[in-house]
Amino acid sequence: MAMIEFQDVQKYYGDFHALKDINLKIEAGETVVLIGPSGSGKSTLIRTVNGLEPIQEGKLIVNGQDLANKKTDPNRIRKNVGMVFQHFNLYANKTVLENIMLAPRIVLKRPEAENKKFAMQLLDQVGLQSQANKLPAQLSGGQQQRIAIARSLAMKPKCLLFDEPTSALDPEMIDDVLNVMKDIAQDSDMTMLVVTHEMGFAREVANRVIFMDDGQILEDDTSEKFFDGEPSNERARQFLGKIITH
Amino acid sequence: MISIFQNYGSTLLYGLGQTLLCSIIALVFALVIGSGFAILEVVPNKFLRVIARVYIEVFRNIPLLVITMFFYVVIPMYIVEISGFASGTIGLILYSSAFIAETVRSGIQSVDPGQMEGARANGLTFWQAMRYIVLPQAFRYVIPPLGNQFINLVKNSSVLAFVAGFDLMYQGNVIASDSLQSMSTYLCVGVLYLILTLPLSYYMRYLEKKLA
């Protein structure tokens, strides 16, 4: 069964038609990169997947539940679908360790000892065990983003959404974050949907590349075809040309 | 001034006690009720938001004395007898809670919306996110303006003087007309109010530093 399935989805902000006729199926375990110019709707699309943005028409089935159905509790979906934001959104009033342990404790009721052990293990995985007792504000952007990834992983999600995870980072820190993401993509059966401009990452890690513009999906290819062949869509070719010459 | 303290010391102390009692009761209730309405102002449910808005606008924009007189004069006529002290305290709670609600709401809204979003995406409910993430940060921002509200509340408790609440201001009026020494009396009263408000003001400043 598909992990995420959009069926004729329409999303409006007032009069503005933000997502147009979205049809998209992402299978469990796939790593999909979503690219496109700013304002193309890619962030909006990824934010609908865990119900942060409601959709107005169509069906959006995530982990077997339809988010368009008013009876669906988005919290049940969020337990299985983590999200990593451009600006990290770590809890400013909690230490690094508490950031990771909070949701498993109060949402999943995970026993304290097990919770702490797993949190420390995750910190080790992202290479930040020594920072456990610091506050987010004391860390660099790259470190904060790796903590945010650990925080999402602590919920043991089936799917992770990344909304421009490296766009707010200094160039030197981007690799640290991308490496953590690569490890997750390669070592686990996590479904990953990533909005990014990191073409190196897309080429190396993604199974599929989706190109969006003006609220529509214009191109949906395997990453080999997208990068080594030619996108069939003219607009996607233009975009790729510009982004790769940089 | 010294003679006022010598002759009317116990009366003044009783008034100070009533003022302190009224202020503490009003402060606790106004803080709880005000924070409650502040949260209602930012919930997703529009109906609850409207209720909060109406409550705040009504009690913020009517003079404290009018609210108090309503409880002291009107309610006893139709419903139940209320003492001056109680009606003044209720008036003070309603009036102050509206201002505290506005203060706390501004604090909630100055917390980065990403905090709520991060918590929701992490699986927390709206209320859990409020309790563990947003409110602790909001209260840190609002300690200085909240301190102002608390000081105003203590001073506004002098509304009790109009409804025979036997507070400091009331006793001051009594002493002034009895002793015919208005200046010394009101100086004494002023000093006693300072004894209540200055420590409060220093304590809020201390909290602000400690939590910064």
pLDDT in tens, B127-142: 999 999 999 999 989 9
Per-residue confidence in pLDDT tens, chain B, 212 aa: 788 888 888 888 999 999 999 999 999 999 999 999 999 999 989 999 999 999 999 999 999 999 999 999 998 889 888 899 999 999 999 999 999 999 999 999 999 999 999 999 999 999 999 999 999 999 989 999 999 999 999 999 999 999 888 898 989 899 988 888 888 899 999 999 999 999 999 999 998 888 76
pLDDT(A246) > 60: no
The mean per-residue pLDDT over the stretch A115-134 comes to: 94
CB contact under 8 A, A89 and B124: no
Q: Give the integer Cα–Cα distance in Å for A223 and A203.
A: 6
Chain B's closest residue to A51, CA to CA, is B121
What would the two tokens of residue B142 be? Answer: 């609002």
Chain A 197-236, residues with CB within 8 Å of chain B CB atoms: none
CATH code at A107? 3.40.50.300
Residue at B210: amino acid letter: K
pLDDT of residue A7: 94
A63 and B CB contact within 8 Å: no
B120 and A CB contact within 8 Å: yes
pLDDT of residue B210: 85
The Cβ of residue B159 has, within 10 Å, a number of other Cβ atoms equal to 26
Sheet holding A191-195, edge to edge: A81-84, A159-163, A191-195, A31-35, A208-213, A216-222
B119 and A CB contact within 8 Å: yes
pLDDT of residue A56: 93
Nearest to A91 among B115, B123, B140 (CB): B115
pLDDT range class, residue A244, cuts 50, 70, 90: low
**Number of domains within chain A:** 1
Question: How large is the C-alpha radius of gyration of chain A?
Answer: 18
Claim: this prediction has a pTM higher than 0.95: no
The per-residue pLDDT for range B182-198, each reduced to its tens digit, is: 888 999 999 999 999 99
The Cβ of residue B183 has, within 10 Å, a number of other Cβ atoms equal to 10
A82 and B CB contact within 8 Å: yes
Q: In terms of DSSP bridges, do strands A159-163 and A191-195 run parallel, antiparallel, or are they unpaired?
A: parallel
The per-residue pLDDT for range A133-186, each reduced to its tens digit, is: 999 999 999 999 999 999 999 999 999 999 999 998 988 889 999 999 999 998
CATH class of the B20-166 domain in this structure: mainly alpha
Domain around A156: 2-245
CB contact under 8 A, B122 and A52: no
Q: Across the strands, what pairs with A84?
A: A162
Nearest to B123 among A90, A91, A103 (CB): A103
Spatial CA neighbour of A55 closest among A45, A64, A63: A45
ipTM of the complex: 0.90
pLDDT of residue B111: 96
